[in-house]
Copies of this chain bind each other. A is one copy, B any other.
């Protein structure tokens, strides 16, 4: 049976001031009417029933996540005591699912990406589960064909072609590449066989646990101590005690780069990780001067701006270009569009500056 595990961590900095500690990106209505988390759950609903759907989230966000997803069993919304990167998260999720159903197939996916249309996504996952059914030691990744020399994503190099499944092209993975510099990203783009790692994985629950044991034995030992108490009254205690001690490492680096049997499916759906305000603007309407606006705004003689206001609060711009202006819940950000990579550090600096209330 397929279980879907939605990774819904995130510290809520890249969409500040709209995103906050207790209202991170996946709980915002950024694109479309529903939150990104709601859309993600709805997207996998045709693949996994509520009883086979899990969400791993942060302690700060667990309450809001439960409110957002009342149809999920309460114990399927798992709060990490603290963020320990994706390897620990993957291990915990696999342990939880394997405790119920040792032979389960796991779909792991981020909570905050835009994927359209959902039908094509589901069909791609069906192709991936078919690959795992053919060979339970296979790990399947989904690769997005790059459209620009992006330096913010990891890449996957496609190796030998393995034909098609349900009409999607499948390749052996030759290598995983961490976020490249600009020159390398341009080479990847020109080369043609490097695809973006979209952070979606399909694998057998026991197989990924075995692989963690093989490549990250200390992490596996920690996970085993948690597994020993899963389903007992001391589960929460074990999690609180052990989870913070787990190694903090991405699953790509911990396992995927070393594992010999990884496949990648060529994705044909539209995909975006909507990484910042600038990327979000691509999903909003634009005026003739390239301004994207939401809420009460008055944009005069300005070009290429993203202007987002809370209802009942007006933002007026005059003679400005290429700015992001966002007003939300008592805080306003005015940033140059090409400086949003520093937004995280700006938000982190608010605490020292005595503005913790705006985090």
Contacts and interface: CB of A to CB of B under 8 A. Distances in A.
Given A315-B334, A316-B346, 19 more contacts: A17-B316, A298-B346, A298-B350, A298-B353, A298-B355, A300-B346, A300-B349, A309-B332, A313-B330, A314-B350, A315-B331, A315-B332, A316-B332, A316-B334, A317-B334, A319-B342, A320-B336, A332-B332, A334-B334
A296 interface: yes
A333 B355 contact: no
A208 interface: no
A298 B342 CA distance: 13
A98 interface: no
A75 interface: no
A325 interface: yes
9 contacts: A314-B330, A317-B334, A317-B335, A318-B346, A319-B342, A320-B334, A325-B332, A327-B332, A334-B334
A280 interface: no
A271 interface: no
Contacts of A325: 332, 334
Contacts of A298: 346, 349-350, 353, 355
A163 interface: no
A201 B320 CA distance: 40
Contacts of A316: 17, 331-335, 346, 350
A330 B346 contact: no
Contact of A358 (B314, B319, B355): B314
B330 A318 contact: no
Contacts of A340: 318
A87 to B, nearest CB: 32
A176 to B, nearest CB: 32
A323 B300 CA distance: 14
Given A342-B301, A346-B298, A336 B353 contact: no
Contacts of A238: none
B318 A355 contact: no
Contact of A334 (B296, B318, B355): B318
A317 B324 CA distance: 10
Nearest to A314: B331
Contacts of A285: none
A335 B300 CA distance: 9
A331 B309 CA distance: 10
